[in-house]
Amino acid sequence: DAGVIQSPRHEVTEMGQEVTLRCKPISGHNSLFWYRQTMMRGLELLIYFNNNVPIDDSGMPEDRFSAKMPNASFSTLKIQPSEPRDSAVYFCASSPTTGFYGYTFGSGTRLTVV
Amino acid sequence: GQQLNQSPQSMFIQEGEDVSMNCTSSSIFNTWLWYKQEPGEGPVLLIALYKAGELTSNGRLTAQFGITRKDSFLNISASIPSDVGIYFCAGVTGNQFYFGTGTSLTVIP
């Protein structure tokens, strides 16, 4: 299994531009999570989906952030317009229905907004 | 949200030494997890703990679920250079993971 695949690995963009981060979960996993990691705030859960349906988006910082999961094998996190304070590493994770050992993180997307 | 504090924040140790770190919370959790994150990668699960007082080992790693359910401990015995990384605890309630602030470990050969 290739694990959770995120793209791009690195993204540098100018303030005001739209940014789209992509995630392919592990096949058969029915839950998908988006996290943001910064030095100041650590790992924060932004949103999670169960069976492609958003369950809890209370961690999404503001309306500039949106996430979709159109099917079981793909999810996007979009920031529009981006701001320098959005610079962080964004992780996607997926998990099966039960058990924590299957909860797997991707390698992350390092976003820099200048 | 939930606050999980890890200590120490960072450690510099000699190869072969044992390592201890802990994680405390003001809230009770039903499950405690310990993750390791290496540079440029996502966290990888090391150990999961499911009940108060539980002591679980994974090779040279041993973790304990505190009796109060508000804390957890991780020990690494006989450290080696590849133990370098950031160790995170996570408390779990339902489907929510709350991550600690991390302990950065540096092992000096």
What is the average pLDDT across A18-46?
A: 93
Residue B37 has pLDDT above 70, yes or no: yes
Taking residues B46-66, report their average pLDDT.
Answer: 95
pLDDT on residue A1: 62
Q: What is the interface size between A and B, counted as CB pairs within 8 Å?
A: 42
> What's the pLDDT at A2?
79
> Å from B99 to nearest chain A CA?
6
Q: How confident is the model at residue B94 (pLDDT cuts 50, 70, 90)?
A: confident
When the pLDDT of each residue in chain B is averaged and rounded to a whole number, the result is 93
Nearest CA to B66 out of B36, B32, B18 is that of B32
Q: What is the mean pLDDT of residues B66-79?
A: 96
The yes-or-no verdict on residue A98 having pLDDT over 70 is no
pLDDT at A70 over 80: yes
Residues of A in contact with B88 (CB under 8 A): 42-43
Residues A59-65 have a mean pLDDT of 92
A99 pLDDT band (50/70/90 cuts)? low
User: What pLDDT was estimated at residue A21?
Assistant: 98
Between chains, do A100 and B42 touch, taking CB under 8 Å as contact? Answer: no
Tell me the pLDDT band of B93, cut-offs 50, 70 and 90: confident
What is the helix, strand, coil percentage profile of chain B, to 5? 5, 60, 40
Q: What is the mean pLDDT of chain A?
A: 92
With a pLDDT cut of 90, the percent of chain B lying above it is 85
Q: Is B48 on the interface with A (CB under 8 A)?
A: yes
Chain A's closest residue to B42, CA to CA, is: A107
Confidence (pLDDT) at A93: 94
Where on the phi/psi map is residue B82: left (φ > 0), alpha (ψ -120 to 50), or beta? alpha
Q: Which two tokens stand for residue B8?
A: 């120490």
3-state secondary structure chain A: CCCCEEECCEEEECCCCCEEEEEECCCCCCEEEEEEEECCCEEEEEEEEECCEEEECCCCCCCCEEEEEEECCEEEEEECCCCHHHCEEEEEEEECCCCCCCCEECCCEEEEEC
Q: Which two tokens stand for residue A87?
A: 């610079």
Q: Which of B31, B48, B99 is the closest to A43 by Cβ?
A: B99
% residues pLDDT > 70 (chain A):
95
Name chain B contacts of A108, Cβ cutoff 8 Å. Answer: 40-42
What pLDDT does residue A72 have?
95
In this model, does residue A100 exceed pLDDT 70? Answer: no
Please list every residue in chain A whose beta carbon sits closer than 8 Å to the beta carbon of residue B31.
100
pLDDT digits (tens, 9 = 90+) for B1-16: 567 899 999 999 999 9
pLDDT(A46) > 90: yes
